[in-house]
Amino acid sequence: MEERNFTISYQSFKGLEELNEKDSALCLKAVEALKTSYSPYSGFKVGAALQLKGGRVVLGSNQENVAYPSGLCAERVALFSIGSEDPNAVIESMAITAKTDNFVIEKPVTCCGGCLQVMAEFEQRQKQEIVVLFYCINGEVLKVKGIKNLIPFLFEESRLVV
């Protein structure tokens, strides 16, 4: 038997004022994406913003449905949107934020496993790591480079890749 360990790397910022201008602007775009969230059942709005190589930003928001689990997370809405619109686009970074009127969100909200797996595949396709910013509105920002820092045992099978 051999015991192995993972080490993950991320940065923590007290707020937007500590980020560089580009990262701060992307976080604010994720806040903007909250406006299109359709979340009448949970009341939990999630916004995502993807920064593409070349400067274009693509937004996504969570979309619920009364027939759970037919909805879709904000991250996958944005990722699948760019995947169908411009499959050769390179995603440099993405920001995710959340908001609800039901309670105060006190720390950054992170992605579900399904979103992480989709993010990982985009990284594999583009052969470039994605920087992910988790932004707690008016609070902390976590910055992670590379999806393997978020899901070290992601599903990979090179024989399935075309």
**Active site (catalytic) residues:** 75
Please check whether residue 106 is in contact with residue 136, taking contact to mean a CB–CB distance below 8 angstroms. Answer: yes
Q: How many helical (H) and strand (E) elements, i.e. helices and strands, does the chain have? A: 3, 6
The residue type of 159 is R
- Short-list 55, 126, 50, CA closest to 88: 126
Closest residue by Cα to residue 97 from 57, 62, 58, 56: 62
How far apart CA 16 and CA 133 sit, in angstroms, is 11
69: preceding bond cis by omega (within 30 degrees) = yes
Separation in Å, CA 26 to CA 22, 66, 104? 6, 31, 22
- d(C-alpha 14, C-alpha 125), whole Å: 33
